[in-house]
Amino acid sequence: MKRRVLCACALVVWVLVACTVLSVKIEDLMTPRVRFRSVEGGTLPVDALFWDEEGMHLYWASEGTGWESGTRVREEAADRYAVETAYDGEIPIQKLKVEGFGFGAGYIQYATKAPQTGEKVLGVDAVARADDRWVLVDTDPDGELLLPQTWPPAVTLVEETGRAALVEAAQQPTPFMPGQAYAAVYDGDRALRSTLPDLQVQVFSLGDVTAFADQLPLVAGIGALAVFVGILWAYSWVLVRRPRQNRTLLAVNGGLALLLLVGVYFLVQGVALPGSLLPAEVILSPEAYRGEFAALTGALAQFTGNGAAQAQAVLSRLDARGTQAGLLLGSGAVLGLAAVAVEVFLTFRKNRMGHKGPSAGKRPQPHTGPGTGGGRA
């Protein structure tokens, strides 16, 4: 009984260490990267607002203490800001009127994903830039995608279908932030740019989508190692009934578990999922991923003109990496069962050899007693 308890504790320790490594990485992945904006003349750009089912939100950040150390998100009181409309000729220009001049690190204007009150954020500067392709999707099932009449120099329309559009964006700040992409697309159309919160448009970065797809086999590899260790532990539970006879196999399984734990650590360090495609709260949320990728793949399938080749390349990549991830995850189970089969064979062979006596396999000696002709003449 004590040996089984020891075996169970070994698995618990392995899982605790692996989960600790994973939790540190998940915290980093789920930490939104943000860009701050200071109040100028008592106003902020209207795209500093974040919208959800409950309405609009304005966030600022301050340094936390104790268990909430780091830069933390705070929500501005609703009575401290308001959207005001002015007119430049016939064009309505909206601005965000703010009482006071903000706190802490400043107001959050853009983020890789919508910030949540109290969560940790990481401020980044708009220094690194890269070319990208964006997909704009109208999320209103009865609406039509509104596109600017005048496109900014850095953004080029490739194809539009009425419900979606594919654009090429040259030298845009990284990491990708949907709100910043909004601003870049509609920068040339002041009327649309000023009423940005009213546009029901979702923006995807195809650079982030391909990066996400390329990470799927790596994530599946982590799962495969965990499945392999789980199968080894299950068989070790059987081996521990006879610890002396099976001490070699138990030592081998323990060594493999430690080696695979090191492998899990290095694989986890290599995971770099883009923040714009991660759920707002729980990283393992099938519903969130299903909704995001259903809208994206549905939009990509609509492109049949100039953007068809690019759209098909992204869809093919998603399919290929998804298949690879499934095969890797399955290989963890197959290899684990194969390892158990080898250990079962070795145990059976050892037991079979042990059941043979010390004289097993020796040829009988001829009798040399009197009358056999085997004595000396």
15 with 78, same domain: the answer is: no
275 with 254, same domain: the answer is: yes
10 with 92, same domain: the answer is: no
203 occurs within a structural domain: no
| Region 15-33 average pLDDT | 94
pLDDT, position 376: 47
111 with 214, same domain: the answer is: no
202 occurs within a structural domain: no
* Helices assigned H by DSSP within the chain: 2-30, 178-185, 190-194, 206-239, 247-269, 286-302, 308-355
10 with 66, same domain: the answer is: no
240 occurs within a structural domain: yes
139 occurs within a structural domain: no
Look at residues 106, 123, 140 and tell me which one is the last residue of a structural domain. 123
Look at residues 65, 93, 123 and tell me which one is the last residue of a structural domain. 123
341 with 227, same domain: the answer is: yes
The Cα–Cα gap between 310 and 157 comes to 13
Name the residue range of residue 235's domain.
Answer: 2-24+209-355
| Bridging pattern class, strands 33-37 and 122-123 | parallel
270 with 227, same domain: the answer is: yes
The Cα–Cα gap between 274 and 277 comes to 6
73 occurs within a structural domain: yes
Task: Check whether 352 has a pLDDT greater than 80.
Answer: no
Q: What is the Cα 300 distance to its own chain's centre?
A: 22
pLDDT, position 20: 95
Mean of per-residue pLDDT scores for the chain: 84
236 with 342, same domain: the answer is: yes
> What tokens does 276 get?
């714009």
Q: What is the pLDDT of residues 189-233, one digit of tens each?
A: 655 655 544 457 889 999 999 999 999 999 999 999 999 999 998
How many C-alpha atoms does 31 have within 13 Å on its Cβ side? Answer: 15
Measured at the alpha carbon of residue 362, what is the angle toward residues 358 and 366, in degrees to the nearest 5?
125
What is the band of 377 on the pLDDT scale with cuts at 50, 70, 90? very low
Look at residues 89, 123, 157 and tell me which one is the last residue of a structural domain. 123
168 close to 131: Cβ distance less than 8 angstroms? yes
Q: What is the pLDDT of residues 289-335, one digit of tens each?
A: 998 999 999 999 999 888 889 999 999 999 999 999 999 999 999 99
Q: What is the pLDDT of residues 115-152, one digit of tens each?
A: 988 899 999 986 789 999 999 998 877 778 888 888 88
229 with 350, same domain: the answer is: yes
Task: Check whether 105 has a pLDDT greater than 80.
Answer: no
340 with 234, same domain: the answer is: yes
Which stretch of 17-21, 153-157, 184-188 has the lowest confidence by average pLDDT?
A: 184-188
pLDDT, position 188: 62
227 with 329, same domain: the answer is: yes
Q: What is the pLDDT of residues 82-100, one digit of tens each?
A: 888 777 777 777 788 887 6
18 with 38, same domain: the answer is: no
Nearest to 116 by CA among 68, 74, 63: 74
For CA atoms 232, 238, 243, 244, the dihedral sign is: negative
CA distances (Å), origin 290, targets 15, 192, 293, 298: 28, 30, 5, 12
163 occurs within a structural domain: no
136 occurs within a structural domain: no
The Cα–Cα gap between 303 and 306 comes to 8
DSSP 3-state helix, strand, coil percentages of the chain (rounded to 5)? 50, 20, 30
160 occurs within a structural domain: no
Task: Check whether 47 has a pLDDT greater than 90.
Answer: no
pLDDT, position 375: 47
| Region 56-83 average pLDDT | 86
Query: What is the number of domains present in the chain?
Result: 2
Task: Check whether 22 has a pLDDT greater than 90.
Answer: yes
| Region 357-369 average pLDDT | 54
